[in-house]
């Protein structure tokens, strides 16, 4: 059956119903354009919108396309900690004593740019200190899922005091397309000082 229509159709033989999602745009016109684009794919069975969440929709696809979609999802669901162990990862070597958190963060980003890589993911621990480190209000923004245009992902294999930026030659890359990572410890005031310097500070108080 080649004449597969839209909403209301049952799945004919050789076709299956699959669910997809796309990011929710910010403006009304952008949302309408996205919905128009979704419907334009054809064979769409349902569209669900909820502010603050991705737009989800279902459509009928051939079995081969559904198989490829699941394979991509499995590749994209890799844990960031596993990725970090399997790509080239370097320790940030800038000044942790005299460079502030913002300078360190942007210096790491520039390191990716120098390698002609796009920031693809930001990896932190489950109880990350990222917000305290950057001076961001955790109550207001602690639930954000993106930072600087990249997914902010919490991974139990990453220590809470560690920040890892992942880079890929592709924009909006999947996890399996990451080729490089740079790691830094997020030192809070005093933690990054050598022991002798800490002792000197204590003596002057």
pLDDT, tens digit, for every residue of 24-68?
888 888 888 888 878 877 788 899 998 888 888 888 877 776 666
Question: What's the pLDDT at 183?
Answer: 95
For 74-123, how does the pLDDT look when each residue is reduced to its tens digit (9 = 90+)?
555 567 887 888 788 999 987 555 568 989 999 999 999 999 999 999 99
Identify the pLDDT of residue 197.
42
- 127-153: average pLDDT: 86
- Reported as a pLDDT band with limits 50, 70 and 90, residue 3 is very low
12 or 96, greater pLDDT? 12
Look at residue 181 and give its three-state secondary structure. Answer: strand
At residue 11, the pLDDT reads 61
Q: What ranges do the domains of the chain cover?
A: 15-76, 80-185
Q: Note whether 165 and 120 are within 8 A (CB).
A: no
Percent of the chain with pLDDT over 70: 77
CA distance 28 to 122: 29
Question: What is the side-by-side strand order in the sheet with 118-124?
Answer: 88-91, 180-185, 162-168, 118-124, 150-154, 146-147
Which pair of tokens denotes residue 180? 């490089």
pLDDT of residue 194: 47
Q: What is the C-alpha separation between 53 and 46, in angstroms, rounded?
A: 16
- CATH fold of 80-185, please? hypothetical protein PF0899 fold (3.30.2320)
**Number of separate helices (H) and strands (E) present in the chain:** 7, 9
For residues 129 and 99, give the distance between their C-alpha atoms in angstroms, rounded to a whole number.
Answer: 17
Q: Which has more pLDDT, 100 or 21?
A: 100
């Amino acid at each position: 059956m080649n004449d597969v229509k839209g909403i209301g159709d049952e799945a004919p033989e050789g076709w299956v119903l699959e669910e997809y999602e796309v990011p929710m745009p910010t403006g009304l016109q952008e949302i309408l354009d996205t919905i128009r684009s979704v419907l334009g794919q054809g064979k769409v069975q349902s569209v669900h919108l909820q502010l603050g969440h991705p737009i989800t929709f279902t459509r009928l696809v051939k079995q081969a396309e559904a198989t490829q979609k699941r394979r991509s999802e499995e590749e994209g669901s890799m844990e960031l900690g596993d990725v970090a162990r399997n790509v080239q990862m370097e320790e940030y070597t800038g000044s942790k004593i005299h460079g502030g958190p913002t300078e360190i963060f942007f210096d790491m980003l520039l390191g990716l740019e120098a390698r002609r890589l796009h920031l693809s993911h930001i990896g932190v621990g489950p109880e990350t200190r990222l917000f305290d480190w950057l001076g961001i209000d955790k109550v207001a923004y602690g639930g954000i899922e993106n930072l600087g245009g990249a997914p902010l992902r919490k991974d139990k294999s990453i220590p809470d005091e560690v920040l890892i930026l992942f880079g890929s030659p592709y924009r909006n890359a999947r996890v399996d397309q990451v080729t490089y990572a740079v790691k830094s410890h997020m030192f809070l005031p005093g933690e990054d000082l050598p022991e002798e310097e800490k002792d000197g500070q204590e003596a002057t108080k």
